[in-house]
Structure 1
Amino acid sequence: MFLIFLIIFGYFGFKVFKTYLKEIAETKEYRKIMSKREAEIKVINTRTKKDKINMAITIISLLILVVAFPKKEGIEKEKPAKEIETKDTSTTENNAETTKNIEDNVKIQKTRIRVEFLKYEKEHLDLWNSMTNAIQKSDVYTAYEYAEKSKNTIFEIRGNLRNLKCNKTGDSEFDKQCEETITLGKNAYSAKQEAVNKLLKWFDDLQSPKKANEAKKSLEEGGEYWQVFLLKLTALTLTDEDLKDSKTKK
């Protein structure tokens, strides 16, 4: 698991570093004709959706690497050698059983959370994609139809998500990451709901440039939230079986 997050961090971190170097050069050029603050704002505003996603993925993977894995390793290192040596057979067996129970609990929660979010994804994603495809083709009537359906579906999903919680597993770090993932999922659907609402407002007043820009911005933000959430969900629910399957396919 550590290696996976390390690879993710290295890959996207390199992309962010290249973007950072490019922005430094652009800032220097803008400084010739404007103030430092204005130059920085202008450079930030030129960041693409892909740049923002790369940064979000890099930050999330770094936090997981720093917070989750070293903490577990540190706990093992802090155990006194004498304490480990004096453990009798029964204690060792009890610890092994406890560890197995925790691992089973984590596995159950991974499956439960994954299945739950996959169910909601299947309920709304086809409608959402059909809506965005219609917008790209400037098919307003079709886009409006799918936007209405998406609005109702996402509203129901958000209602169901209010009751979704992580059951305690005994692994405090997993429990923490699980809660963060569910919160991120709720925020992702809220962002999509906001995007659909603004899109429908624009459809009611197609001559309004302001509403058009607001709808476009909300759709982009909804897409960004969704990509970050999917990465977090994948990282949380990844199992040993998934890793074995990926190696087999390769």
Structure 2
Amino acid sequence: MTSMSTTTATATDGYGIEHVPGPWECTGESWWFTCHPLIGKRIIHAGSINPLDFNPGVNDGFDGGPGLIMIVRYSDTPVGPYDELLYIPGYYTTPHAPSSRCRITNIYVSSKETIYNGRRNWNIPKHLAVFSFDSSTETGRTRITVAHPESPESPFFAAVVANIPLLSRVPVPLSTSLSPLNLECHQPELRAVEGERGRENGETATTTWRSFLPWMGGKVRFVKCVEMKNGNGDGSWPDKVDGVWSLVLRWDPGMKLKFPVGKEFV
């Protein structure tokens, strides 16, 4: 069942997908992999930026800081359930704030409806992918893979997370309102992905910058990352993924997410 109480679907602009403007209220679960925290390294992992999305030079102002690789399983959104892999390398300079802000530089989802609406509403550079979740209650492990639709048997991202004895049993209430970090995202305008596949998948362009401050709340627990391969988007793998903490923040099912109307800079 999807929730349409705070949104109104409107006509498309030629992509054949309904526009569902913000705000959005969603429910799901998530895994947060923290990258190079607290040490100030300016690392952008392979696959973190898709060259099809942004105008040349727009991502040059990388200021480093803590980054995230996030997996989200949405069970309820205004466009239906879907899965998501997103990259936030850290903070970038922006022409619309006195200090740097977070930026989502690449994101893969399992739904064309959220590709079109995420790009149009918030300048989030979404692309289509195939997700697999394989969990074992006996081992307490979950294997997560993400692949391109044309090569579902060759994932470009894979991670195995496992419960930590005793520690993973204890859920703790948490809200991003308590974060000491500024989680406001400033997103540059997007280029449309050319060709029939880009139009079929809803990979539309935008013409102005947008900002938004997402909110998440629910119960979290700590698990550990025992394996991660983060590809280059073409099926190839780097030798290793540097700077990713083995401690993973696991948001339990029932987590709430709110995405406000994006502020448009004209």
TM-score of the aligned structures, taking structure 1 as reference length? 0.20
When Rg is computed on C-alpha atoms for both structures, the one with the higher figure is: 1
* Alignment TM-score, normalising by the size of structure 2: 0.19
Please identify which structure carries the higher helix content: 1
Task: Choose between structure 1 and 2: higher strand proportion.
Answer: 2
